[in-house]
Chains A and B, each alone.
Chain A
Amino acid sequence: MSNVIECKNLTHYYGKKLVYENLNLSVKEGSILGLLGKNGAGKTTTINILHGFLQPREGECLIYGENTQHLSPITKSRIGFLIEGHVQYAFMDIHQIEKFYSGFYPKWNNKPYWELMSKLKVTPKQKISTMSCGQKSQVALGLILAQEPDLLILDDFSMGLDPGYRRLFIDYLRTYAKAENKTIFATSHIVQDMERLIDDVLIMDYNRVLAQSSINEFMTTFKQFNFKLGKTDIDLSKEDFVSNLEKSEDEIELFTYESESYVKNFLKNKNIPYTNFSEIKMGLEDAFIGLTGKY
């Protein structure tokens, strides 16, 4: 499968503040990649570079082989773009906005748009500005689906949505993407939403990529072990196999890609006494916090 998105050696600064250095990422055709990271880790920066709204200090991003700084209109027509907060032309109503966009996209198919609109309790002449966040999200999603893009870039798609609309949005999107072999690049602050949607995950921290793999691989290889240390003065956080460690007196939460036997052998070989050793089953949100830390 070819890569729809390919970013090579991206380096960017805001003033003197490094956002990231030599970031490489790729998204395969037909896959759904979730970009996770704390606030300020560089998610929106990456989205802006992908859209050509920001020129990286070094490196480049390619979408369908074209540099994102100079995307041709044909390539742009293949990309559906959801702005953070489901921003749309709020001074229009649902008929006006559909009419406006239909003039730009040769493959425009308004069926999914009107299907979604029929579920909204809005009046035909109601301006988008007067709609709830959930209703706006459905308008934005409907417009993207009508565009029939090959690639969807969704920036913080769950922002401002209540649980019902988030579920509706995600389920509709995943079903659509899998049925039509669409590629999705998404970011969201609500990590558990990603678990239902994505195939691959990319986790960023300040200045670096912490993980990039399929969601299944990440969730099976990344583990949390809890145990009680016999001594309180032992520091395991610097060990190579430890991805992150949360310590509260003698209670340890250790996050690692190594197996239970590896960790136990390590403790045994170093003569570190421990009790109550157990592996904790994690969801994506737990794993994300485990990898990036609570602070």
Chain B
Amino acid sequence: MFKSVVYKEWIKTKWFLIILTFIGLLAVGNIFLKVQHNIAFNDANKYWYLILFQNHHYFKSLKFVPLFIGLLIALVQYVPEIMDKRIKLTFHLPINENKILMMMLGYGFITLLASYALMFFAFVGLSNQVLPTEIVQATISSITPWFLAGFAAYFLVALVVLEAIWKYRIAYFVAASAFMLFYFESSIPGGYNLINLKLILLTIAISISLSFSAYRFRKGEM
């Protein structure tokens, strides 16, 4: 059964996932082309000084990329389920409704994780080649919330899309948009040092919100 669920979700998402990951890697590559350009044509020490003391955010073009990927993957995965109320087919499969939703969500999470991991490790790998460890560590702390925002966007878009009643859908969308601001409060290197763990826990907590829409659907709120 799990294989079948993965198969269906893969059919829906594969091209988007591949293309979006490629775009993400291009964004990372673009950042380091610029960094290398600056180091090559300016003095490296001066450039590091800019990063450390003048708030030069060389990585800022990455800011909304994970969010964009998470959002699109959720749309690609869940919009086909609500078209023609196709979610009824999914809920009719001989498997517990919450279990199958969690499988779908798990698929989305793991594929996003794989996509983000490629981007993240490419970013860290390239950073380590051209920047000192202190800068790289502070940068990791700054970009982590952006990747967490990608997961949160994925979970919240799933919740909004699977909600059957428009007025609730709009309310969820407004609340979710406000919630997403938590992840973009600061770009300062190390700015999120103290709350990254809390953001991780918060992101995990919202992952189960999808089951609320499913529960409402099964009660007949459609």
- Residues of A participating in the B interface, judged by any CB pair closer than 8 Å: 48, 51-55, 69, 73-74, 76-77, 79, 81, 83, 85, 87-92, 96, 99-105
Q: What are 13 contact pairs spanning A and B, CB under 8 A?
A: A51-B91, A53-B220, A53-B222, A74-B94, A81-B89, A85-B84, A87-B86, A89-B80, A90-B83, A90-B84, A99-B4, A100-B4, A101-B4
Name B88-137 residues within 8 Å CB distance of A.
88-89, 91-96
B219 within 8 Å of A (CB atoms): yes
Closest 3 CB pairs of A and B: A103-B4, A54-B220, A77-B94
Asked whether, in the complex, the Cβ of B11 is within 8 Å of the Cβ of A91, the reply is yes
B3 proximity list for chain A (CB < 8 A): 103
A89 to B83, CA, bound (A): 10
A88 proximity list for chain B (CB < 8 A): 86, 89
Task: Please tell me which one of the listed residues A52, A81, A100 contacts residue B7 in the complex, with CB atoms under 8 A apart.
Answer: A100
Q: A48-B220, A55-B219, A104-B4 are in contact. Are A87 and B89 (CB under 8 A)?
A: yes
A101 proximity list for chain B (CB < 8 A): 4
A54 proximity list for chain B (CB < 8 A): 219-220
Asked whether, in the complex, the Cβ of A99 is within 8 Å of the Cβ of B7, the reply is yes
Asked whether, in the complex, the Cβ of B1 is within 8 Å of the Cβ of A104, the reply is yes
B172 within 8 Å of A (CB atoms): no
Query: Chain B residue with minimal CB distance to A92?
Result: B11
Asked whether, in the complex, the Cβ of B86 is within 8 Å of the Cβ of A89, the reply is yes
Asked whether, in the complex, the Cβ of B95 is within 8 Å of the Cβ of A73, the reply is yes
- What 20 additional pairs, Cβ within 8 angstroms, besides A90-B83, A101-B4? A48-B220, A51-B91, A51-B92, A52-B218, A53-B222, A55-B219, A55-B220, A73-B94, A73-B95, A76-B92, A81-B92, A83-B85, A83-B86, A87-B85, A88-B89, A89-B89, A90-B80, A90-B84, A99-B4, A103-B7
Query: Chain A residue with minimal CB distance to B93?
Result: A104
Closest chain B CB from A136 CB (angstroms)? 11
Closest chain A CB from B100 CB (angstroms)? 10
Asked whether, in the complex, the Cβ of A83 is within 8 Å of the Cβ of B88, the reply is yes
B169 within 8 Å of A (CB atoms): no
Asked whether, in the complex, the Cβ of B8 is within 8 Å of the Cβ of A89, the reply is yes
Closest chain A CB from B79 CB (angstroms)? 10
B56 within 8 Å of A (CB atoms): no
Closest chain A CB from B153 CB (angstroms)? 22
Interface of B is mostly: helix
A51 to B217, CA, bound (A): 12
B63 within 8 Å of A (CB atoms): no
Q: A85-B84, A89-B80 are in contact. Are A100 and B8 (CB under 8 A)?
A: yes
A92 to B91, CA, bound (A): 18
Q: Could you give, for residues 65-95 of chain B, a 1 whenever the CB lies within 8 Å of some chain A CB and a 0 otherwise?
A: 0000000000000001001111011011111
A90 proximity list for chain B (CB < 8 A): 80, 83-84, 86
Closest chain B CB from A179 CB (angstroms)? 24
Task: Please tell me which one of the listed residues B83, B94, B218 contacts residue A105 in the complex, with CB atoms under 8 A apart.
Answer: B94
A99 to B222, CA, bound (A): 30
Name B1-15 residues within 8 Å CB distance of A.
1, 3-4, 7-8, 11-12
Asked whether, in the complex, the Cβ of A104 is within 8 Å of the Cβ of B89, the reply is no
Closest chain A CB from B84 CB (angstroms)? 4
A102 to B1, CA, bound (A): 9
Closest chain B CB from A161 CB (angstroms)? 16
Asked whether, in the complex, the Cβ of A53 is within 8 Å of the Cβ of B4, the reply is no
B88 proximity list for chain A (CB < 8 A): 51, 53, 81, 83, 87
B86 proximity list for chain A (CB < 8 A): 83, 87-90
A89 proximity list for chain B (CB < 8 A): 8, 80, 86, 89
B7 proximity list for chain A (CB < 8 A): 96, 99-100, 103
B93 proximity list for chain A (CB < 8 A): 76, 104
A55 proximity list for chain B (CB < 8 A): 218-220
A105 to B94, CA, bound (A): 8
A100 to B96, CA, bound (A): 17
Asked whether, in the complex, the Cβ of A104 is within 8 Å of the Cβ of B219, the reply is no
A99 proximity list for chain B (CB < 8 A): 4, 7
B94 proximity list for chain A (CB < 8 A): 73-74, 76-77, 104-105
Asked whether, in the complex, the Cβ of A53 is within 8 Å of the Cβ of B8, the reply is no
B218 proximity list for chain A (CB < 8 A): 52-53, 55, 69
A54 to B221, CA, bound (A): 8
Q: Could you give, for residues 41-56 of chain B, a 1 whenever the CB lies within 8 Å of some chain A CB and a 0 otherwise?
A: 0000000000000000
